[in-house]
Amino acid sequence: GQSLEQPSEVTAVEGAIVQINCTYQTSGFYGLSWYQQHDGGAPTFLSYNGLDGLEETGRFSSFLSRSDSYGYLLLQELQMKDSASYFCAVRVFLYGGATNKLIFGTGTLLAVQP
Amino acid sequence: DGGITQSPKYLFRKEGQNVTLSCEQNLNHDAMYWYRQDPGQGLRLIYYSQIVNDFQKGDIAEGYSVSREKKESFPLTVTSAQKNPTAFYLCASKDRSYGYTFGSGTRLTVV
């Protein structure tokens, strides 16, 4: 089967750093993505890791280790507006590589406190 | 501005009724997707389409149907065969980049 695991909730204070982990078991792995979703809103794309290592985009960084089937999202200098759900998603190939789809984790609710 | 428009934002369905959710994009993306999200859960793939006039079942296609007659449009019909349709429905599209662009969603409730 295909599964992704991430913590259900994380709490941190403004200005702090928080790491959200994601472990996955999938076949046909192509890359790991992260999405942010504010309550009742549309998920927005944050980052993508196709190869091992760290990708940095402003205050957000994402890491991937394909040998460990593990990745994380790192949020620095936390702000109140970062309070949201964060989803990891694995891109897998279908039909011999002709198409692909995203499989989402169940999400991590991040609460940033003053 | 380019984006994905989903309508309606809220939809109420009676038992045994079919309803259609609209999804329109002006991003010129080839691939489009429908996801379902239940409270506190991740997104599960219902149907996807890589090109016009072609679509494939996702992981939870039973009780749903789609069409892709135009590149810009990918409507989802929730049929009476879907026994638990109350959920948040999200439409997405994708070009050759890595990220999906999502619409703002339709919240469907059975009354």
* Listed range (A33-37, A100-104, B87-91, B105-109) with the worst mean pLDDT: A100-104
Tell me how far apart the alpha carbons of residues A87 and A109 are, in angstroms, rounded to a whole number.
9
Q: What is the mean pLDDT of residues A38-51?
A: 92
| Amino acid B38: pLDDT | 93
- b/e per residue, B10-40, with b = 16+ CB within 10 A? ebebeeeeebebebbbeeebebbbbbbbeee
Tell me how far apart the alpha carbons of residues A30 and A100 are, in angstroms, rounded to a whole number.
9
| Amino acid B97: pLDDT | 77
Give the gap in angstroms from C-alpha B48 to the nearest C-alpha of chain A: 8
The answer on pLDDT for A38 being more than 90 is yes
pLDDT digits (tens, 9 = 90+) for B25-48: 999 999 999 999 998 788 999 999
| Amino acid A95: pLDDT | 63
Give the gap in angstroms from C-alpha B17 to the nearest C-alpha of chain A: 25
| Amino acid A98: pLDDT | 61
pLDDT digits (tens, 9 = 90+) for B62-108: 999 999 999 999 999 999 888 899 999 999 998 877 789 999 999 99
Contact between A85 and A110 (Cβ < 8 Å): yes
When CB atoms are compared, the residue of A35, A42, A107 closest to B105 is A42
Q: Collect all residues of chain A within an 8 Å Cβ-Cβ radius of residue B35.
A: 104
Tell me how far apart the alpha carbons of residues B25 and B100 are, in angstroms, rounded to a whole number.
12
The answer on pLDDT for A23 being more than 80 is yes
When CB atoms are compared, the residue of B33, B35, B42 closest to A107 is B42
Percent of chain A clearing pLDDT 70 (strictly above): 96
Q: What is the mean pLDDT of residues A27-51?
A: 92
The answer on pLDDT for A1 being more than 80 is no
Q: What is the mean pLDDT of chain A?
A: 92
| Amino acid B111: pLDDT | 86
| Amino acid B96: pLDDT | 76
